Structure 1
Amino acid sequence: MAMSQKWWPRALIGSAQILVLVSLIVAGVSLLGSSTDQRILTVFLINLIAAIGLQIYTGTSGIISFGHVGFMALGAYGSALFTADPAIKAMGIPNAPDFILTSAMGFLPAMLIGVGVAAIVAAVIGRVFVRLGGSAAAVATLGFMVMVFTVLSNAEEWTRGAKAFSGIPAYTTMGWCMGAFAVILVIARLLRESDTGLGLRSSRDDAIAAQASGVDVVNSRYVMWVASAACSAVAGALYAHYIGAILPKAFHFELTFLIVTMVIVGGQSITGAIVGTLLITILAEALRRLENGFSLGSFSLSEAPGLTTAVLALLIVFTLTMRPQGLVGRWELDDLTMRWLAKRRPAASGAALPFEKDRERNPAA
């Protein structure tokens, strides 16, 4: 994938803009927020990385995937097996291979192992999955997530099965989350703005027309599929080393529903994934507090279990009905900034808007 001078500076500038805004949010919460707020912020950053990982594939191809939480699980277990306390592993998984039982790696090399495992699995199954679209892709990816859950739940010698796998060091800090977010943000924007990403985006509405314009849709989807799986695995590794104990149920329907909601509500861009993650995190946290009971005038409710899931489901229905492209649509923050600046400049300046430059590179976009 050649880095043309026409697009990569824009990807880096757009990444820098987003990174500055997220850094301001993190700094504000770190300085002014409580310990609970900082915990929520850490979970927000982990979910944000997961949402961007999903968006790399879904946002460019237009194909929703319900299986990326499976890659998170592979990243979580793949890294935790090599960092967990050997003494606890000897008691919990005594029949595991010696190279796992005796391992006590640092966080970075263990994370890279987890990412590598997820990327290899994605590469092996990807050639089949990327040829699917619509409901077929949704069902197939959902099936993959269930398969990962089933394997992890039954691999007692490696994962303790359905029981919690504990003894995982608490390596995940705000610094690690921000560092991982910065790297994945840049990767995501470079992939999105590359010729491969632009060609794949042009296939979202009509893959046949895109192929007729010279876009290799299948190979482009494959690149994004593997890259998105690797990024999702990073989120899984961060989650495992933040919670300290993981079990397969943590990477099942509930987390899948949450991450997919963030992407659908936010829109088809990386900026959309960030907006969706921020909105859903705030909304979900407020709803969880209401689940413990609330009063509204003369109406009071002692408990409201399932309120969060119900409201998020309604939000998805509302978004798909009223604004299918999501809140931000296909626009990135730098696109919106340039459009705003172009409107304030004299019309005689002749400055091309960002989407016009994309059409110059690929008329099918």
Structure 2
Amino acid sequence: MTAMRSPFRDALTTALLLTAAVAIVAAIGTQLSGGTQRIIIDAMIKMIIVLGMYIFVGNSGLLSFGHIGFLGLGAYTAAWLTIPPSIKASLMPGLPDFLATAALHPLPAALAGGAAASLAALLVGIPLTRLAGVAASIGTFAMLVVFYAIFSNWTSVTGGQGSLYGLPVFTSLPVAAGFTVATILGAAMYQASASGFRLRGSREDAVAAQASGIDIRRERLIAFVISAFFVGVAGALYAHFLQVVVAREFYLKLTFITVAMLVIGGMRSLSGAVAGTAFVAFLSEVLRQAERGIDLGVVSIGGRLGLQEVGLAIAMLIVLIFRPRGITGGRELTLGWRSR
């Protein structure tokens, strides 16, 4: 009986340690300047995205390039539900009446964004879960392209290439930290669940898993839908953080950054998803400052555009060469730092 409880206890321990770290960062952040708080909020939203991706990618072993499409769907759902009806009438004249007249609080709108992303994941996941390996990754990228084409061209509903504005202020530092903690707990509980164990079994040996009676397609679809929910919620938070929704935000750049966070931290551990996000967020901010130029008083170094993308690519390359399993090496953060 003790052996059966151990995975849940270890998952809970990992989740509590990670949530404690998030709480400490949030508590310190509240004492810092507004600009620094925005950097921390942005990092926490990206952490929710990466944790959501981890639920599917880490447990299935299939790399997804399409989750930013769910992020965009969550953001647009929040915009449809929270922008004042008078503004929606001019920006999105093609909205159905029940959306055109809606004026919800951002919290239920964020949950609705997650639900919309989950529904979309269920529909597109049925054919995608038939694929495996590289074909599955290419399929998720094709899904991202389809989402982006809809966001950027369905002008009467999404505003097309224009901006949707008028979203109320909601995503403060405590709100972002609270949702980050909830996502960590959700990811940990799924990881320790029977479905999570079955999916990881198929990741290690698909033939043996099928021989044991595991329905691999079903388990992948469950993880895909759950992961899409958290990413959709992150999209709503992102929309209320920026207070504007633009289609170009939900495409290749954010896809590359979030995939880099997951790969650098370690795709096969919850702790790796958190560590990778923190590391890349810090590195991105340093490189962003370097793009503007560095003034050391005696020496002044001119800025160079593109340093952020180049720096992240080099960091990913270094990790893949020297730490193929990421910063954490696929291990979870526990009191004894034991291998999972």
Deviation for aligned residue 1:311 = 1.1
Alignment of 1:274-353 (within 5 A): 274-294=274-294, 301-334=301-334, 337-339=335-337
The residue matched to 2:16 in structure 1 has which SS? helix
Supply the distance in 2 between the matched residues of 1:202 and 1:97 (Cα, whole angstroms). 44
Indicate the larger mover: 116-125 or 286-295.
Answer: 286-295
User: What amino acid does structure 1 have at the position aligned with 2:232?
Assistant: A
Q: Does 1:224 align with 2:219?
A: no
Indicate the larger mover: 257-266 or 33-42.
Answer: 33-42
Alignment of 1:116-195 (within 5 A): 116-195=115-194
Deviation for aligned residue 1:299 = 8.9
Indicate the larger mover: 205-214 or 272-281.
Answer: 205-214
Aligned twin of 2:256: 257
Runs of at least 5 residues in structure 2 that lack an aligned partner in the other structure: none
Deviation for aligned residue 1:316 = 1.6
User: What amino acid does structure 2 have at the position aligned with 1:278?
Assistant: A
Supply the distance in 2 between the matched residues of 1:63 and 1:198 (Cα, whole angstroms). 15
CA RMSD of aligned residues (A): 2.0
Aligned twin of 1:66: 65
Q: Does 1:242 align with 2:241?
A: yes
User: What amino acid does structure 1 have at the position aligned with 2:331?
Assistant: W
The residue matched to 2:245 in structure 1 has which SS? coil
Deviation for aligned residue 1:58 = 0.7
**Contact 1:338–1:354 (Cα < 8 Å) also in 2:** no
Deviation for aligned residue 1:295 = 6.9
Q: Does 1:115 align with 2:114?
A: yes
Deviation for aligned residue 1:216 = 2.8
Indicate the larger mover: 250-259 or 286-295.
Answer: 286-295
Aligned twin of 1:273: 273
Distance 1:295 1:182, change over 3 A: closer
Indicate the larger mover: 218-227 or 203-212.
Answer: 203-212
Distance 1:5 1:23, change over 3 A: same
Indicate the larger mover: 300-309 or 288-297.
Answer: 288-297
User: What amino acid does structure 2 have at the position aligned with 1:244?
Assistant: Q
The residue matched to 1:333 in structure 2 has which SS? coil
- What TM-score, normalized by structure 2, do the two folds share? 0.93
Supply the distance in 2 between the matched residues of 1:51 and 1:126 (Cα, whole angstroms). 19
Supply the distance in 2 between the matched residues of 1:300 and 1:243 (Cα, whole angstroms). 32
User: What amino acid does structure 2 have at the position aligned with 1:338?
Assistant: G
Deviation for aligned residue 1:253 = 0.3
User: What amino acid does structure 1 have at the position aligned with 2:288?
Assistant: R
Supply the distance in 2 between the matched residues of 1:227 and 1:60 (Cα, whole angstroms). 12
Deviation for aligned residue 1:186 = 1.1
Supply the distance in 2 between the matched residues of 1:280 and 1:209 (Cα, whole angstroms). 36
Indicate the larger mover: 153-162 or 198-207.
Answer: 198-207
Deviation for aligned residue 1:5 = 4.4
Q: Deviation per CA, 1:270-319, whole angstroms, max 9, x where unpaired?
A: 11011000000000000011111247999965331111101111222222
User: What amino acid does structure 1 have at the position aligned with 2:172?
Assistant: T
**Contact 1:85–1:169 (Cα < 8 Å) also in 2:** no
Supply the distance in 2 between the matched residues of 1:203 and 1:301 (Cα, whole angstroms). 51
The residue matched to 1:65 in structure 2 has which SS? coil
The residue matched to 2:244 in structure 1 has which SS? coil
Q: Deviation per CA, 1:21-47, whole angstroms, max 9, x where unpaired?
A: 11111111222x222111101101100
**Contact 1:15–1:185 (Cα < 8 Å) also in 2:** yes
The residue matched to 2:203 in structure 1 has which SS? coil
Indicate the larger mover: 78-87 or 231-240.
Answer: 78-87
**Contact 1:83–1:107 (Cα < 8 Å) also in 2:** yes
User: What amino acid does structure 1 have at the position aligned with 2:179?
Assistant: A
Deviation for aligned residue 1:94 = 2.6
Supply the distance in 2 between the matched residues of 1:271 and 1:354 (Cα, whole angstroms). 11
Supply the distance in 1 between the matched residues of 2:57 and 2:11 (Cα, whole angstroms). 18
The residue matched to 1:330 in structure 2 has which SS? coil
Sequence identity percentage: 36
User: What amino acid does structure 2 have at the position aligned with 1:117?
Assistant: A
Supply the distance in 2 between the matched residues of 1:135 and 1:5 (Cα, whole angstroms). 36
Supply the distance in 1 between the matched residues of 2:294 and 2:112 (Cα, whole angstroms). 46
User: What amino acid does structure 2 have at the position aligned with 1:129?
Assistant: L
**Contact 1:68–1:145 (Cα < 8 Å) also in 2:** yes
Indicate the larger mover: 92-101 or 290-299.
Answer: 290-299
Runs of at least 5 residues in structure 1 that lack an aligned partner in the other structure: 340-352, 356-365
The residue matched to 1:202 in structure 2 has which SS? helix
The residue matched to 1:338 in structure 2 has which SS? coil
